Structure 1
Amino acid sequence: DPRALGLTSRHLAYVIYTSGSTGTPKGVMIEHRGLVNLIAWHVQTFCLQPETCCALTAGLAFDASTWELWTALYNGSTLLLPPRAAAGDSLRLLEWWRDQSLEVAFLITPLATIALEDKLVNPTLEYLLVGGDRLHRMPASLTPPLKLINNYGPTEATVVATSGRLSIENAVPHIGRPIANTRVYLLDGHGAPVPLGAVGELYIGGAGVARGYLNRPELTAERFLADPSSGEVGARMYRTGDLARYLPDGNLEFLGRIDDQ
């Protein structure tokens, strides 16, 4: 019994390092509750049948691999692993991926863009989940039954914080809305909510917020702040450094990093 051992959902599940694209790589401490929340949301949304087939295409140093791996283990699904020859060869990986019997699959945004533009999309796929980079434009077409799901989330918020289905009718490729047990705030430079349609910095609260950075207490205190809107004692929110705004339909549009403006 985990409780008899003193184990709780607040114990660490893993530590994974950020890419360092916004500074020195940092070890992010993810607790079990964040990982379980991510996986439960994914299975309930996309994998209602245990016999679902999915693939592991993300590198193990990329946090999306935990999403792919643990979803399959949690659900008892079949997880297909690409051949070693596909490592470092995007075209070979996509050709392998296209030929598998998949219902749900994740691809990093640049790979998904290539697949959609070069007609390398898996024909059995119902859900194509993309993320890890900004989707700059909508694909020219989406062939049924394919549904394109755009996901956003920093490593510090356990892989995915917002998610939304895209349609070729969308004027911009939005990043959807918060996933289960997740809160999103758009705040100005004084920490106040911005008006609907105005640009604000994106803060993330809820079950997916990481414990902080490994052995970096000062940086943890700078980026992980008290969440006054939670109602939960000790609740925190993560300051992403990303800009976004709400679209008229309630979905979020990602506008890039503050540092890039």
Structure 2
Amino acid sequence: LDFAKVEKAFKKIIDRHETLRTSFETKEDSIIQRIHKVEDLSFRVEEIVVDGEDEIDRRIGEFVEAFDLTKAPLLRVGIIKLEEERNILLFDMHHIISDGVSMSILTNEFVQAYEGKKDFDALSIQYKDYSVWQAQKKQSEEFMRQEEYWLNEFSGEIPVLNLPTDYPRGKVKSSEGSSISFTLDSDMTSRLRAAAQETGTTMYMMLLSNLNILLSKYSGQEDIVVGSPIAGRNHRDIESIIGMFVNTLAIRSAVKDEMTFKEYLELIKQKTLSAYDNQDYQFED
């Protein structure tokens, strides 16, 4: 691995994407984006030395640090050199300038820039253009319509999910938690896909329906809200931009005993499609 080429490739990508040259600061109670020139940034690829493979996980953990939002780039790159032809490339990037799709864009562009296969076409718009568009949209009739949809969905009392947990719910809300991963076997996956095809739904709708029913059975509640992220890239011009476009859709539905599963699945299909149609209205609002 050529360290100089790695650094050059990243500088090329940082130059291409204004988000990677953006810092954030407060001005008169408003948060503003400040875009810097690539030559004004002190960016370098850090070489991380490990004393044996037992140290790798610890060094990766240490590599992730808090960012100062007033200092660009909000991207950190490091390399752990293990052998002559075996290296680990580390990225640490603040969520304010990136999402899951951004990581894919960054990875693909890095490979192309490192191999020097082609020069990138100039981006037709940058993230600041999207920010302006988003701010302007708040004055539009379309935005008012979307606001009305979500206020309608969450009129009345908002349910709190009371699951029978091992410990009482904390008085102070915390976002601490952990993840549990599991894999559905190929037979179950095939059956779910067949059921989705038969009902004109998607795997997401199928799994969301099942999750809602499970939560309803555990809690004894009918009114269930599940939030899930949506990419928010519903225009071709922003498909290839590194940035934070993700929104959360809080999908609310009533799980009623008298409904068949197919009837409930159809309800979730309609709720989900309506949420997609109104995805520009931010969850924070």
> TM-score with structure 2 length normalisation?
0.20
Structure scoring higher RCO (CA < 8 A, sep ≥ 6) equals: 2
**Which one has the bigger helix percentage?**
2
**Which one has the bigger strand percentage?**
1
> TM-score with structure 1 length normalisation?
0.21
